[in-house]
Each structure stands twice: as structure tokens, then as C-alpha cells.
Structure 1
Amino acid sequence: MRIERLRERSDLGVISITTLRALGVANPWPKCRPGGPWQRMHPGVVLLHNGPPTRDQQLTAALMRAGPGAVVTGAEACRRHGLPARGREIHVLVPGSARGSGALVVERASPMPPSSDMGGFPVVSAARAVVDACRQLRSADEATALVAAAIQKGRCTPETLALEARTNRYGTKLVREVLRELGRAESVAERDARRLSRKIGLTTPHWNATIVDADGVVIGRPDAWFDDVGLAWEIDSRAFHYEPQDYERTLTRNSRYAAAGILVVQTLPTRLRDCPEAVARELKKAHRAAAARPRPPVQIVR
């Protein structure tokens, strides 16, 4: 059998042992030995070359191994939705029984969640993907970062995530705890900011309060607002604001602060995490500067 014919019957060079045998290749395994022209991806699944497989080939092989009706979830599905999920395992859901192998996680789901075609692969919703990805994590910070990214990028809402965690409760304790925590802080960075604020003992800030001018026009919604002196503190994460339109919104926001006479401290989450003492000094200095000039005529909208 010519290799061109085999490739025509493959999917991205991935082919099942059943198809190979139907095409007259009764025993492909000698070709999959070290140094051979092919390689074994999973039991019953072969890649028709011996070089490193692409991620799409890995995903194709995983779905072929999992069987008809399988859909992609977890970290790989998150990445297909444009979310920065960790974890190199491929997690798929199937309507019946199946076995995983190596970095392939196969899980039976009943009922099967809806999926949509993303680049030729059946991928679950962002909310289901995030919940399943968090089930594979052990770090609260990693889970919080993923959940916050999904919300801030508009891929899902806290409500849809909470619904998925309630519907599919097995192993969802971590994501449910993260959602509760994010009810008080929208990201790991904001949680760290709250801790630092308590430690340095400035006037109690308001968190995520809406600030308006004397005419009631909204100026901004800073992460922290020191109302007695009119000081805003923004935790600006590169991870969540790297699109051009996000950068433009940040510039526009800062211009509104300046026009209203509001001093603003901008802090990167990495500095907040790695250099909290330096951030504390900057915040105290800005607070003193804000207190030394007349407070701007702005107020919190309750």
C-alpha cells in the first residue's frame, strides 16, 4: 500500500489501526518501533511519520482514541477559547466508556455537554472548559488566574461558571472556592492588594467603587479608592490587558482621572507579588501627596 493512499485516508496523518487493516496493513507495529517511519500515538492510533506531532495531530489522535461523540474540554479547550490555561494533558468527554492513555484524560459525561466546531474540533463552552481545567489543578492561584481571565475576556460570566460547577460538581471544590473568593476580589492581584492595604494601615479603601464628578458623570471604577484624599489605585495586569483596545481604554481612563484632579497609582501584579514593600512605599507616598492638596469634587455612587 502506497503511503500516499494511507495519508489520503488519514486525518492530518493520524490513522486508526482499524483503517490500516482495512487498507491491507495487517501489522503496523514494526513500523512504529524506534527508528521506524511511523509512531504509535495511543492504543489503536498511529501517526504516519516519526517526527514530533503537532498539537492538532495530538488532539486528532486523542479524539480518535476516545471514539465517536468525544468532545474536547479542560485546558486544551480553554486555549482554543483564547484563555491562558496551563496543563499539557488533553481532556475529552465521551458519551460511553473509554480509556485514556499517557497525557490523555477520558471521562464519561451524562448528559454530554453541547460543543461547537473550533478549528475543526468539537470544543465545549468556555465555562465548561474552565471548570474542567480547574478540576485538574491543585493551585488556588492558578485556578483564580484562569477564572479571572475567562471573566475579564468576556468568555463567560461568574454566573455561568457557578452553574457549571453546580451541575458538574465532581472535583469542583477548588473552582467553587475561587468563585466565592472572586466575589470579594476579582483576581489574585486584587486579593494581594487587599492584603497589602490592610498591612500598611492607610484609611480603609473602597473596592471597585464607581466614582463620579460633580455632575454625576462616571470617571472610573478603580480597584481601590481612598475616599478621604481622592486617591485611586489600579492593578493593571498585562495578562488581562494586552489587546490594543484594552490599552486605549486604560489611557482614556487615566485621562479622565487627570481631568478630575484624581491622583492614581498604577501597579503591575508582578510588582505587587514580588516587591510588596516597594509598592507599599509608593502607595503611602501617593496618599501623602493626595492629602496635601485639595480633595477633588468627586464622590462614590452607592
Structure 2
Amino acid sequence: MPRRARVDPVAIASVGLHGVAAVADLTALGMPSSTIARRVQAGHARRVLRGVVKEGPDEPTDDQRAAAALLYAGERSVISGGEALRRHGLTDPSPRRRILVVVDAQRQRTSSAFVEIERTERLPAAQLVDGLAIAPLERAVIDTVRREDRLDVVRGVLTEVVQKGRTTVARLAAELAAGSQRGSALPRRVLRDELGAGVRSVAEAWARELHAESELPRVLWNPRLYDPSGTFIAQADGFFPDVGLAWEIDSVQHHFLLPDWDKTLRRRARMQAFGLVVAHTRPSRTRTERAAVVEELWGSYRLAASRPCPDLRIVAA
């Protein structure tokens, strides 16, 4: 018979993760379940989930919640969704939502407390992040947006990961096509109609909607502009190629830090030095002052059309 153990940090560390452990693993050490129950009742330990405990009465940390979710779900379980996004260094759009854990389709486990269980025939190969089994980036992104019914939230998740160069539109589209089609309509629309057209932010998606509903000429989204010698000039948010008009969407959030603002001013100066007309619009105005923005763009367009169009090479996003 194994020696009986106490519910203490040493015992938990020997079978647990981030200071939490499965009751079944503790009893396998020789710790009676009655001892675990008494210590929980006395406040010396805490029940985090059914069958998962931690030493001490304090609230579990984020790491402990994530570890508890994996221990509750059982072997080969993988954290996905917003929690996985956060651990990949991206934004969790709904941080108060339950932790999504994907398990093998044959596993009999149900959602509980702060854990959402999803059975899948496509169990991803986990990546270890801080000792936790985390879904690959593309899977985490798609599992997140499939659960969102807010268009701008879907846009935010998808544009962030592409804008930061962490993955591509093609890889996200492939992951979306390969998985469950439940909740796929909005992300499919954003990937195909917006990111596929070069849009790289929620603000640019709003601008694209405004442009589509106006009678303004054709615009390219996020093209890279070069002079005839091949020297890079800038990447414009929007660009009217027939007259050489750049449309900059001035996001306050993006330009809040001085280095970002300085970088923006330098980019505009390069475009203007090369003879481009540059129009500026705050994102909120594309929602609240649509007619005025369209009229301003027409004015900038006419100004650009009155000048010789600069000779440049345009590379689409």
C-alpha cells in the first residue's frame, strides 16, 4: 500500500499543474478522498472544478483555472478559443467567457462551471505554452470567431492576427473550411470579402462599407507603393490608383503612442513628397458622418485628378 499523503503543495506539485491537481491523481498517491474533503471543508484546500482541487482557500489564478480546465477534461484535452489566443499573445475578445477545451469526440465529458467542452473529430496537436496544452494559432482563432455573432468582434480577431503577421488569410480560410461549419458564416464573409480584399483592421472594414455604398471610384486596400526605381514609398490604408489619392484611416487607438504617431507622419510625408494627395479620416466618422466623409473624399479626388498622376508601381496586399 502506498504511504498516505496530505493535500499540500508538495503532493499537488507531484501530480498536478500550476498548483492544482485532480482528486483521482491524489488518491492514487495514497491520499484518502475523505482527507481531501475535510481539508476543503476546513478551508485548507479549495475545490476548483468537479474532481480538481488546489491547496489554500484563495481564488485560483488564471494559470490555475486553465490547468484545472485541462485536468477536468482529461488526457489529450487541448485549450482553444479566447484563452488560447491570449496565450498566443493576442487579444481575447471575451475574457469572461468560459475556457474552451476541445476533447476527442468519443470522450464522455460535459461542460461545467467555467469550462466549455467541445467534442471534435479533429483534435489538434497541442502546443505547450507555460506547461499548458494549447491549440495551434489558426485553430484557436477559428474556434474563437465561430462563437461570435458580433461582426466587428469577428473582424477584430481576424484582422489582428493577419495584421501582426502571425498567419495568412489562406491558412485561416483553410482551417475554417476544414472544421465545423457551425458559426462559420461571419468569419467566412470577413475572410473572403474583407481580408481577401486587403482590409487589415476594423476601421478599414468600416471605410470599405462606406466606399461600397458610395459612388466613389475604385479603391485598393493596403497596397504597397514604390517609385519607378523600386524604392518603397509607403503602404496606404486605401488608394485610388487612377489619380494617385491615398486615403488614411486615422485610428486614435493605433496612434495613441508617440512612436506610432511619428511613424504615421513620416509615412504621409513620403507620400506627399512623391506627389500623392493624402486624405485623412477618423474611423468613427465613417459611421457617424458618412455623407460628409464621402463629400470630402470627392474633393480630395478632384484635387488629385487636377494634377499629373505620379509614376509609381503598386503591389496589392
Please report the TM-score for the alignment, with normalisation by the length of structure 2: 0.79
Question: 208-217 or 107-116, which moves further after superposition?
Answer: 208-217
Q: Which amino acid aligns with 2:32?
A: G
Match of 1:179 in 2: 191
Deviation at 1:127, TM superposition (A): 0.6
Q: Aligned partners of 1:19, 1:236: CA distance in 2, in Å?
A: 55
Matched, 1:60 2:67: yes
Match of 1:298 in 2: 311
Q: Aligned partners of 2:262, 2:132: CA distance in 1, in Å?
A: 34
Q: Aligned partners of 2:55, 2:12: CA distance in 1, in Å?
A: 7
Matched, 1:19 2:25: yes
Does the 8 A contact of 1:210 with 1:221 survive in 2? yes
Alpha carbons of structure 1 residues 251 and 29: separation in structure 2 relative to 1, 3 Å: farther
Deviation at 1:116, TM superposition (A): 1.6
Alpha carbons of structure 1 residues 166 and 206: separation in structure 2 relative to 1, 3 Å: closer
Matched, 1:197 2:205: no
Q: Please, what is the CA RMSD of the aligned residues?
A: 3.2
Give structure 1 stretches of 5+ with no counterpart.
none
Match of 2:247 in 1: 233
Matched, 1:169 2:180: yes
Does the 8 A contact of 1:92 with 1:106 survive in 2? yes
Match of 2:113 in 1: 102
Q: Aligned partners of 1:177, 1:206: CA distance in 2, in Å?
A: 18
Identical positions, percent: 34
Match of 1:85 in 2: 92
Alpha carbons of structure 1 residues 80 and 236: separation in structure 2 relative to 1, 3 Å: farther
Q: Aligned partners of 1:80, 1:165: CA distance in 2, in Å?
A: 21
C-alpha offsets along residues 161-205 of structure 1, whole Å, 9 cap, x if unaligned? 111112113423332222112223524322321232355544443
Does the 8 A contact of 1:81 with 1:126 survive in 2? yes
Secondary structure of the residue aligned to 1:83 is coil
Matched, 1:150 2:157: no
Q: Aligned partners of 1:213, 1:2: CA distance in 2, in Å?
A: 69
Match of 2:283 in 1: 269
Secondary structure of the residue aligned to 2:21 is strand
Alpha carbons of structure 1 residues 4 and 228: separation in structure 2 relative to 1, 3 Å: closer
Q: Aligned partners of 1:62, 1:224: CA distance in 2, in Å?
A: 44
Deviation at 1:8, TM superposition (A): 3.9
Match of 2:47 in 1: 40
Match of 1:259 in 2: 273
Q: Which amino acid aligns with 1:17?
A: V
Alpha carbons of structure 1 residues 78 and 282: separation in structure 2 relative to 1, 3 Å: same
Alpha carbons of structure 1 residues 248 and 114: separation in structure 2 relative to 1, 3 Å: farther
Alpha carbons of structure 1 residues 198 and 116: separation in structure 2 relative to 1, 3 Å: closer
The correspondence for 2:143, drawn from 132, 144, 150, is 132
Alpha carbons of structure 1 residues 149 and 268: separation in structure 2 relative to 1, 3 Å: farther
Q: Which amino acid aligns with 1:256?
A: R
Q: Aligned partners of 2:78, 2:261: CA distance in 1, in Å?
A: 35
Match of 1:120 in 2: 131
The total of aligned residue pairs comes to: 300
Q: Which amino acid aligns with 1:179?
A: L
Q: Aligned partners of 1:112, 1:239: CA distance in 2, in Å?
A: 37
Deviation at 1:251, TM superposition (A): 4.8
Does the 8 A contact of 1:15 with 1:48 survive in 2? no
Secondary structure of the residue aligned to 1:23 is coil
Q: Which amino acid aligns with 1:219?
A: I
Alpha carbons of structure 1 residues 286 and 31: separation in structure 2 relative to 1, 3 Å: farther
Secondary structure of the residue aligned to 2:17 is coil
Question: 280-289 or 151-160, which moves further after superposition?
Answer: 280-289
Give structure 2 stretches of 5+ with no counterpart.
1-5
Please report the TM-score for the alignment, with normalisation by the length of structure 1: 0.83
Does the 8 A contact of 1:207 with 1:222 survive in 2? yes
